[in-house]
Amino acid sequence: MNIRFLGHSTFLLQDGEHRVLIDPFIEHNPKSPVTLEQALEWKLSAVLISHAHGDHWGNALDFGKAGVPIIGTAEIGGYAQKHGATQAVGMNIGGTYRADWGSVYLTPAWHSSSFPDGTYGGMPTGLVIELGGRRVYFAGDTCLFSDMRVIGDRGLDAAILPVGDHYTMGPEEAGRCLELLRPKVAIPMHFGTFPALTGDPQVFAQAGQAQGVDVRVLEPGETTEL
């Protein structure tokens, strides 16, 4: 599997045949290395949404109106359908969506969730994604919580964690999450996009390396392989 970082919390996962986009914050993302027009040309199998805040919901409707499945909570799926996403899927925490490209399982995340217009977005979630024989945990916006140990029991090839602080946990707390998750690889996200996000990904990298975790700090546009 290839994981391409598109700035903030937006990632493109590819296994050679399928492409899955997570939290498609592109058009107004100051760190995005691609334009919305370029991204709409990708042949996506699905767009996965962790929660409804604008910097994660982003351009979901642009993809949904183009026929790409939008997958998230029941509230996110319902909102997407109401606004023209023809293949939206609403599910909930503990549920698994399965398709020919792989699967996504929704976990809890400790945060909040509302759409840019103020509509309630349901509970925020994390995502356990299986694609190309690899298992990746995308934490969404969250703090440390003890049930991460249960998520780690699934056996994680990679964990993608927010480290920016202020709206999510900072790098020290994210480093403690690795003790529970026990991934082979860790990737920081949700840092440096806006002035409030002051968490240093190198602090997270040092914490992970002390635990024997392969921490990969990606610049927007960079790709890493699992």
Residue 67 resides in a domain: yes
Residue 223 resides in a domain: no
Whether the model clears a pTM of 0.85, i.e. scores above it, the answer is: yes
Residue 78 resides in a domain: yes
Residue 226 resides in a domain: no
pLDDT tens track, the chain, 226 positions: 999 999 999 999 999 899 999 999 999 999 999 999 999 999 999 999 999 999 999 999 999 999 999 999 999 999 999 999 999 999 999 999 999 999 999 999 999 999 999 999 999 999 999 999 999 999 999 999 999 999 999 999 999 999 999 999 999 999 999 999 999 999 999 999 999 999 999 999 999 999 999 999 999 999 999 9
Residue 132 resides in a domain: yes
Residues facing 130 on adjacent strands:
103, 135
Residue 224 resides in a domain: no
CATH classification at residue 145: 3.60.15.10
For the chain, what is the domain count? Answer: 1
131 Cβ contact partners less than 8 Å away, ≥ 6 residues apart: 1, 13, 15, 18, 20, 101, 102
Residue 225 resides in a domain: no
Residue 159 resides in a domain: yes
